[in-house]
Amino acid sequence: MVNLTETERITLETIKKIVQKDIRPMAGPLDEKGEFPWHAHKVFSEVGLMATLIPEEYGGMGLRYLVFSMILEEISKVCASSALLLIAQADGTLPILYRGSEDQKKTFLPELAKGAIGAFAATEPSAGSDILSMRTRATYSEGLYVINGQKCFITNGSVADLICLFAYTDPEKRAKGISAFVVEKGTPGLSYGKNENKMGMKGSVNSELFFDNMRIPESHRIGEENEGFSLMMKTLDSSRLFCASQAVGIAQGAIDEALSYSRQRVQFGKPIAHIQAIQFMFADMVAATEAARLLTYQAAANIDKGRTALISKYCAMAKFLASDTAMKVTTDAVQIMGGYGYMKDFPVERMMRDAKLTQIYTGTNQIMRVVAGREIVRGG
C-alpha cells in the first residue's frame, strides 16, 4: 500500500532513531510536569520537523502528507504530546501555504521553518462544534483591522510566535463573513488567559487568547476578505488526518507496551501472552489498528494526489475510526497489564488519557460522522 522513495525511507528511519533517543525518555517526565515540550521543540527545529509540509523553496522539508502522517505516527507511539506540537504547527502554517500571498509566504514560512511556533485559533467559549457562533470580530478601518474577542483551548496558544486567527468581518453573512489573519506574538491588544489543566496530552499548552482593540495590518489578512471559512475547513480536513495519524501511533504504542509486558508477566506458571483470552484481545487490537492505519494512509494519499472530492470524507472517517480505535486499544492495553497498567510506572495509562483527546479535538467524532455521512449521501 505504501510506496516510499529512498529519500523518504531514509528520512523516516532517521526520525525513528531520533524519536527513540530524544523523545521517548522525555515522554513520562513531560506528562508529569504538564508543560510545553520545549525539549521536543528544540529537537524538531534542529532536524527541520517544524516545517515538514512547507515547500523547500520556503525553507521547509516539502514532504508528502503521507510521510508527515507516518512521522506523526512514529512520534505518537512514544509521546503523543510531542506529536501535538507538530500538528498545531501544521494547523498554523497551512492557511498561509494554502491561501497566503507570495509576500506572506516569503515572510512567514521561513520563520516557521526555522522553529517559530504556530497555532490555529478558531474555537471560542460559545463556539466549538457550532463554530459559526463565534463572536470575535474584525472591523476594517483605513488599512487596518481592529479585532476584539477571545479564543479558548488553543494548542501552542500562549507560546506561539504566529497565530492563524479566524474572526467575523461580516457576521450577518455567517459562513461567508469570516476572514483569516496572521497575528504575531507581541501585537498590542493580544493577551493570554489561563493555560488549561487537562486530563491527558499534558505535554502541550492549551490557552485562552484575548483580543482587545488589536490592530492587524490589512497585509496580514490571509486570502480574500470573507473567505476564511472555506480556508478553516480545508485546514481542518488536514488536521483530522494528522489527528488520525496521532491516534494510530498511540494505539500502536500501547500494543507494543502491552505485548512486551505480557511476554514477561508470569501467572499460573506461564507468561500471560500464552493465555488465549489475552491473545484474542491482541488479535482485535492489532486488526483494528491496522485497519485504522490503512484508512489513514488512504486519506493522506487522497490529499497528496489532489482527489478533492474525497478529502473531507476520508479525513473525517480516518479521524473517527483511528481515535475510537486508540481509545479502545489503550483501554485494553491497561486491562492486559492489570494493576501495573493502571500505575504511572508504565506508559499505557498516559496513552489511555492521551487517546481520549483524539476523539474530541479537530471536530468531535459525532461531528466527523456528520461530515462523512453528509459526503456519503451526497455521493462523494
Ligand X SMILES: Cc1cc2nc3c(=O)[nH]c(=O)nc-3n(C[C@H](O)[C@H](O)[C@H](O)COP(=O)(O)OP(=O)(O)OC[C@H]3O[C@@H](n4cnc5c(N)ncnc54)[C@H](O)[C@@H]3O)c2cc1C
256 is catalytic: no
For the chain, the farthest-separated pair of C-alpha atoms sits apart, in whole angstroms, at: 80
CA 359/CA 247 separation, integer angstroms: 9
| Residue 58 near residue 227 (C-beta atoms within 8 A) | no
**Which residues ranging from 55 to 84 are in contact with ligand X (CB under 6 A)?**
none
| The only residue of 82, 93, 123, 289 in contact with ligand X, by rule CB under 6 A | 123
Pick the piece of the chain touching ligand X (CB under 6 A) from 12-20, 121-129, 253-261, 276-284: 121-129
Q: In angstroms, what is the minimal distance from the CB of 317 to ligand X?
A: 16
- Cross-strand bridge partners of residue 37: none
Q: Among residues 211 and 297, whose Cβ is nearest to ligand X?
A: 211
Instruction: Give backbone dihedrals phi and psi of 184, rounded to 5 degrees, phi first.
Output: -90, 145
The kind and range of the H/E element at 118 are strand 118-121
Q: State the Cα–Cα distance between residues 99 and 14, nearest whole angstrom.
A: 32
88 binds ligand X (CB under 6 A): yes
Residues 165-204 that bind ligand X (CB under 6 A): 198, 201
**Cell numbers given for 61:** 522539508
Q: State which of residues 144, 259, 275, 360 lies at the interface with ligand X (CB under 6 A).
A: 360
> Per-residue DSSP letters for 249-274?
HHHHHHHHHHHHHHHH-EETTEEGGG
Convert residues 124-163 into a mask of x (bound to ligand X by CB under 6 A) and - (unbound): ----xx-----------------------xxx--------
Read off the C-alpha cell for 154. Answer: 488553543
> Nearest 5°: CA angle at 293, between 37 and 234?
70
Among the listed residues 15, 183, 244, 357, the single contact to ligand X using CB under 6 A: 357
Element (H, E) at 212: strand 206-217
| Residue at shortest CB range from ligand X | 128
* Residue 363 near ligand X by CB under 6 A: yes
Report the distance separating Cα 133 and Cα 123, nearest Å: 10
**H or E element, residue 227:** none
Using rule CB under 6 A, residue 30 touches ligand X:
no
Does position 246 interact with ligand X (CB under 6 A)? The reply is no
Number of chain positions touching ligand X (CB under 6 A): 22
CB nearer ligand X, residue 11 or residue 207: 207
Give the nearest distance from C-beta 294 to ligand X in angstroms.
25
Q: Which one is catalytic: 91, 161, 324, 332? A: 91
Which residues sit at the interface with ligand X, rule CB under 6 A?
88, 120-123, 128-129, 153-155, 198, 201, 206, 357, 360-364, 366-367, 370
Question: So which residues are the catalytic ones?
Answer: 91
